[in-house]
Amino acid sequence: MPRLLLALPLALLTTLVQAEDAHHHDEPRHGEALAAHEHGSARLNLALDGDVLEIEFASPAMNLLGFEHAPRSDADRAMLAAARARLEQPLGLFGVPAAAGCQVREHSLHGALFEPAEAGTSEHSEIEARYRLQCSTPDALQGLNLAALFGTFPATQKIQVQLIGPRGQQGLELSPERSGLTF
């Protein structure tokens, strides 16, 4: 009888874990959007802590490439390669002031279109870019100007920004007409 009493909680725990796994199976996986997928809109999270600037940028692939399907032609593959190359250069893309002396310490790009095994698995592909910059003169990092991002990816019409900096947390919306932010 004591073994049965010990086995019962184990069986219940296993059932609960399986139910929880099944529940999470339908939730977004890494690289999938948590928020609504809206063409023309992107999200930007920034955190400035001392001499480190963390940047997370997420956008529908349509804004960056003009398509969301797996590349079907040489032109599609060229667009994907060009977007990747541009996203791998965050200092210019996000208007980081040269006077701040920032260097990219880490960066990563995620999205089904960058991972061929997953390409074409969704009608609404997202691209996420994450960067960690270390700045030798962080006092010179008073803000960013995303004019280059809007110019490089003109289908991006607005960016929802969440910013944590020396003056606390703030949220704002940037557009091609209003592309600057201050920390």
The token duo for 21 is 């796994």
CB atoms inside a 10 Å sphere around CB 144? 26
> Do the bridges between strand 158-165 and strand 52-60 make them parallel or antiparallel, or are there none, so unpaired?
unpaired
State the DSSP H helix or E strand holding residue 25, giving kind and residue range, or none if neither: helix 2-25
pLDDT at residue 115 in the model? 77
pLDDT for 31? 39
Give 3-25 pLDDT, tens digit per residue: 433 333 333 333 333 333 333 33
Query: Which amino acid makes up residue 22?
Result: A
N- to C-terminal Cα distance for the chain? 65
Question: What is the structure's pLDDT at 38?
Answer: 86
Give the residue carrying structure tokens 């940047």: 55
> 10: which strand partners?
none
CB 42 within 8 A of CB 63: yes
The confidence score (pLDDT) of residue 123 equals 61
Taking residues 18-37, what's their average pLDDT? 40
Residue holding tokens 């910059």? 133
Domain ranges of the chain: 33-182
The pLDDT mean for the chain works out to: 82
Q: What is the pLDDT of residue 84?
A: 96
Is 148 within 8 Å of 174 (Cβ atoms)? no
Sequence-ordered alpha helix ranges (H) in 42-134: 61-65, 74-87, 90-93
Residue 160: its H or E element: strand 158-165
Q: Tell me: the pLDDT tens digits for 36-75?
A: 568 899 999 999 999 999 999 999 999 999 998 889 999 9
Can you tell me whether residue 142 is helix, strand or coil?
coil
Residues in the chain: 183
